[in-house]
Homo-oligomer: A and B are copies of this chain.
Amino acid sequence: MPDIASRVYNHHWKIDPIVRSLIDTDFYKLLMCQSVFRNKPDTHVTFSLINRTKSVPLADLIDEGELREQLDHIRSLSLSRGESTWLRGNMFYGKRQMFRSDFMEWFEGMRLPDYHLERVGDQYELTFEGSWPEVMLWEIPALAVLMELRGRAVLRGMGKFELQVLYARAMTRIWEKIERLRKLDGLRLADFGTRRRHSYLWQDWCVQAMIEGLGDRFVGTSNCSIAMKRDIEAIGTNAHELPMVYAALADDDDELARAPYDVLADWQEEHDGNLRIILPDTYGTQGFLDRAPDWLAGWTGIRVDSGDPATGAEIAIKWWKDRGEDPTQKMVIFSDGLDTDKIIELHQQFAGRVRTSFGWGTLLTNDFRGLVPNDTLAPFSLVCKAVGANGRATVKLSDNPNKAMGPADEIARYKRVFGVGAQPKLDVIV
């Protein structure tokens, strides 16, 4: 049990690295990286940081030199022997040698590529360009660095005991959430909070609190470093960047329409069981499922990551029934902006109808809302996305127009190709 408040107090050290390991990242990044390494190794991509909460002036809050130090430190990291051994030898989702030797050899020699950082108004422009398997690994550490530097900026002026009490209050809050969640029979909950966490130590504390407080209702963490350290399951499957880049690489509308299914065909060659989880919302869930090939209905589950989650789950259940599948044998994974109330509500609403699982993110690992004056520690919506691939812009539509991205003309084209009409706009908190 580290003394988080003391450590925070000591952040005035020359550099206290925020990311200390290449596997201090989400497990699905490594799975996707291996898939990309095998199927699209030569793709040239651009990833870019996007602060969807413009009211948080990151460039005013965070010193550019400090940010560069943190990013440079991440570029100096390489896979340690123990980490490599863990990735090679550990059982993930019931499978040994999840990571192939050729991938591991490449990963052991990998360093993160350079970044481009520029201040634009009160925001930073931070982009990463290069080979997809390398650039994609910037997403999680870059987000974690920005989130934590913003938090450090806010905490800098506080006294030791003021800090201790801040953490005491935040701990009490997490524990009260856990006390409510432990009452749910059959709950399956994982930590998905790496990217927008308050800090590494804090995420690690939250995970340990859930291990003690939730018992087997807590199924694991997306964070490989913490999974290794705490000897628990690493959790995650795949994300929007796969269909987004595959789609950008498509040479015409027919190829574009096929791209999201090509991704999953490649995925199916490598993975089975609980790793066969469909993320259907990149270009609209309903259309994706309507046009999906039958083999996809045989997959284990669907992850609902935008739009109204109950609606998304109902669409999935109906789709499985239409395709002759038994929804009670399927799994719906909720992972969008969850907090205790929503988890309890969804868990109860779908009990007995479909297996549910929850990927709890920012409001687990960064809920300091209301704990400092002017709420300057409240989480905000920061993402790091693939914005280009081989010279073409990427597009995401999502089930919530507030999460859409891409150039307007390309969005129009994608909407036409994927048959996406009007969608309800939902606020994005995190």
Q: Which of A162-170, A230-238, A252-260 lies on the face that meets chain B?
A: A162-170
A162 touches B6 (CB 8 A): no
Question: Is residue A105 within 8 Å, beta carbon to beta carbon, of the partner chain?
Answer: no
Question: Is residue A228 within 8 Å, beta carbon to beta carbon, of the partner chain?
Answer: no
Docked complex: A157-198 residues within 8 A CB-CB of B? 159-162, 164-165, 167-169, 171-172, 175
Q: Report the Cα distance A312→B209, complex, angstroms.
A: 49
For residue A165, which residues in chain B have a CB less than 8 angstroms away from its CB?
Answer: 171-172, 175, 209
Q: Report the Cα distance A171→B164, complex, angstroms.
A: 8
Tell which of B161, B171, B172 touches A209, judged by Cβ atoms closer than 8 Å.
Answer: B161
Q: Report the Cα distance A208→B5, complex, angstroms.
A: 14
SS class of chain A's interface: helix, strand, loop or mixed?
A: helix
For residue A208, which residues in chain B have a CB less than 8 angstroms away from its CB?
Answer: 160-161
Tell which of B160, B171, B209, B213 touches A1, judged by Cβ atoms closer than 8 Å.
Answer: B160
Question: Is residue A3 within 8 Å, beta carbon to beta carbon, of the partner chain?
Answer: yes
For residue A168, which residues in chain B have a CB less than 8 angstroms away from its CB?
Answer: 167-169, 171-172, 175
User: Closest residue to A172 on the B side, CB-wise?
Assistant: B168
A160 touches B3 (CB 8 A): no
Q: How many copies does the complex hold?
A: 2
B162 touches A212 (CB 8 A): yes
Nearest Cβ in chain B — how far from A9, in angstroms? 8
Q: Report the Cα distance A1→B165, complex, angstroms.
A: 12
Q: Report the Cα distance A2→B212, complex, angstroms.
A: 22
User: Closest residue to A9 on the B side, CB-wise?
Assistant: B1
Count residues on chain A whose CB falls below 8 Å from chain B CBs. Answer: 21
A357-401 interface mask toward B, CB cutoff 8 Å, 1 = contact, 0 = none? Answer: 000000000000000000000000000000000000000000000
User: Closest residue to A210 on the B side, CB-wise?
Assistant: B161
Q: Report the Cα distance A381→B188, complex, angstroms.
A: 47
Decide yes or no: A161 and B212 within 8 Å by CB, A168-B168, A169-B172, A171-B168 being known contacts. Answer: yes
Q: Report the Cα distance A165→B209, complex, angstroms.
A: 9
For residue A175, which residues in chain B have a CB less than 8 angstroms away from its CB?
Answer: 161-162, 165, 168
Residue from the set A2, A161, A213 with the largest chain B CB neighbour count within 10 Å: A161
Nearest Cβ in chain B — how far from A211, in angstroms? 8
For residue A213, which residues in chain B have a CB less than 8 angstroms away from its CB?
Answer: 159, 161-162
Docked complex: A1-26 residues within 8 A CB-CB of B? 1-3, 5-6
A145-161 interface mask toward B, CB cutoff 8 Å, 1 = contact, 0 = none? Answer: 00000000000000111
For residue A6, which residues in chain B have a CB less than 8 angstroms away from its CB?
Answer: 1
Q: Report the Cα distance A1→B389, complex, angstroms.
A: 50
Q: Report the Cα distance A213→B162, complex, angstroms.
A: 8
A1 touches B3 (CB 8 A): yes
Q: Report the Cα distance A5→B5, complex, angstroms.
A: 14
Q: Report the Cα distance A159→B169, complex, angstroms.
A: 19
B212 touches A159 (CB 8 A): yes
For residue A162, which residues in chain B have a CB less than 8 angstroms away from its CB?
Answer: 175, 212-213
For residue A167, which residues in chain B have a CB less than 8 angstroms away from its CB?
Answer: 168
For residue A161, which residues in chain B have a CB less than 8 angstroms away from its CB?
Answer: 175, 208-209, 212-213
Q: Report the Cα distance A1→B167, complex, angstroms.
A: 13
User: Closest residue to A171 on the B side, CB-wise?
Assistant: B168
User: Closest residue to A208 on the B side, CB-wise?
Assistant: B161
User: Closest residue to A179 on the B side, CB-wise?
Assistant: B165
Decide yes or no: A164 and B3 within 8 Å by CB, A159-B212, A172-B169 being known contacts. Answer: no
User: Closest residue to A167 on the B side, CB-wise?
Assistant: B168
Q: Report the Cα distance A160→B205, complex, angstroms.
A: 11
For residue A3, which residues in chain B have a CB less than 8 angstroms away from its CB?
Answer: 1-3
A-to-B contact residues, CB < 8 Å? 1-3, 5-6, 159-162, 164-165, 167-169, 171-172, 175, 208-209, 212-213
Question: Other than the known A159-B213, A164-B171, what 15 A-B pairs have Cβ atoms closer than 8 Å?
Answer: A1-B3, A1-B164, A159-B212, A160-B208, A161-B209, A161-B213, A162-B175, A162-B213, A164-B209, A165-B209, A167-B168, A168-B168, A168-B169, A168-B171, A168-B175
In the complex, 13 of the A-B residue pairs with CB atoms within 8 angstroms, ordered by the A residue number, are A1-B5, A1-B6, A2-B3, A161-B175, A161-B208, A161-B209, A162-B212, A162-B213, A165-B171, A167-B168, A168-B169, A168-B172, A172-B172
